[in-house]
Amino acid sequence: MDAAQPSFASLTWRQYRLERRMFWRNPSAAFFNFMLPLVLLALFGAVFSGNQEDLDVIVPGIAGMSVVSTTFSALAYNVTAMRELGVLKRMRGTPIPSGAFLLGIAGHAITNTAMQMVLITVAGKLFFGVDWPSDVGEMVVFVVLGVVCFSSLGVALSHVIPNNESAPAYVNAIFLPLIIVSGVFYDAADVPSFLAGVAEALPLTHLIDGLSAAMVTGSGIGDQLSSIGVIVAWTILGVALAIRGFSWEARRS
């Protein structure tokens, strides 16, 4: 009767472990969240092979895209699926604090981001002639900023998605234009000015700029303050929308 409640940290860890275990049991999710960026890196790396300038663009570009796919896309899918399946409502009826539950899920997504960053960095060094990151600390700062920003935007997007079946359409309608406009595959400076203007307003462009500085050019974090500002602004918007529209119950009910 008087047994103590499990601690917040242990519950977060428990939820995190369950998410990890389920992730590897679901090959399609594992593929889209994890393998796709690596496949793209291999393909574009082959296309640009021998042209170091292009390779120097594609490696941080794919790293930025991976931050988006492992957090924004994955959480938009995951939160929508759990909401529509009724998992969120069921969890709400148990004693687990909402914060511990959501942190466990976010932690799972962030683990994928971290693994992805390591793999891309190693692949860049081994296969594409991109040296080890000149400033690992700066890279970590930008990855963390990107993760928080795109996680909150992913949760916010899930509020707009009406059901599971339409989730890929919503996610891709944003994800695909975003990665093209933001300069994942080419230098964003080379595009027509109207597109460059759009790109300047988007957080991924600035995340890629920051990752490029950390991984390739070696330009210090002091030169990236405006990029940090844009990412933080999107984060504030994302967090506000994520909290505001959150629903534990399926739309269909």
Partner 1 sequence: MSSSEFAIEVRGLRKSYGDLEAVRGLDFSVRRGEVYGLLGPNGAGKTTTVEILEGYRERTAGEVAVLGYDPQLRDRELRSRVGIVLQSSGIYRHVKVREVLEHFAGLYPDPREVDEVIELAGLRGKEQARTRTLSGGQLRRLDFALALIGDPELIFLDEPTTGFDPAARRGAWDTIRSLKALGKTVLLTTHYLDEAQVLADRVAIIKDGRILVEGAPGELGVGSGSVRYRVAWRNGSGLLNQQETDDPTTFLHELTSAALARGEKLDSLSVSRPTLEDVYLELTA
Binding pattern to partner 1, positions 9-48, x when CB under 8 A? Answer: -xx--x---x--xx--xx----------------------
Q: Does 99 bind partner 1 (CB under 8 A)?
A: no
92 scored as a contact of partner 1 (CB under 8 A): yes
* Closest by Cα among 21, 29, 20, 117 to 74: 29
Question: What is the end-to-end Cα distance of the chain in Å, rounded?
Answer: 35
Helix (H, G, I), strand (E, B) or coil at 99: helix
Q: Does 247 bind partner 1 (CB under 8 A)?
A: no
Does residue 249 interact with partner 1 by CB under 8 A? yes
Looking up tokens 């359409």, which residue turns up?
A: 169
Shortest Å distance, C-beta 76 to partner 1: 18
- Residues 6+ away with beta carbon under 8 Å from 66: 37, 113, 116, 117, 120
What minimum distance in Å lies between the beta carbon of 170 and partner 1? Answer: 20
- Distance of closest approach, residue 51 Cβ to partner 1, in angstroms: 42
- Smallest separation, CB 97 to partner 1 (Å): 7
Q: What is the DSSP string of 22-60?
A: HHHH-HHHHIIIIIHHHHHHHHHHHHTTT-HHHHHHHHH
Only one residue has tokens 């640009």, namely 48
Among 86, 107, 129, 168, binds partner 1 (CB under 8 A): 86
Residues at the site binding partner 1, with contacts judged by CB under 8 A: 1, 3-6, 10-11, 14, 18, 21-22, 25-26, 84-87, 89-90, 92-97, 248-249, 253
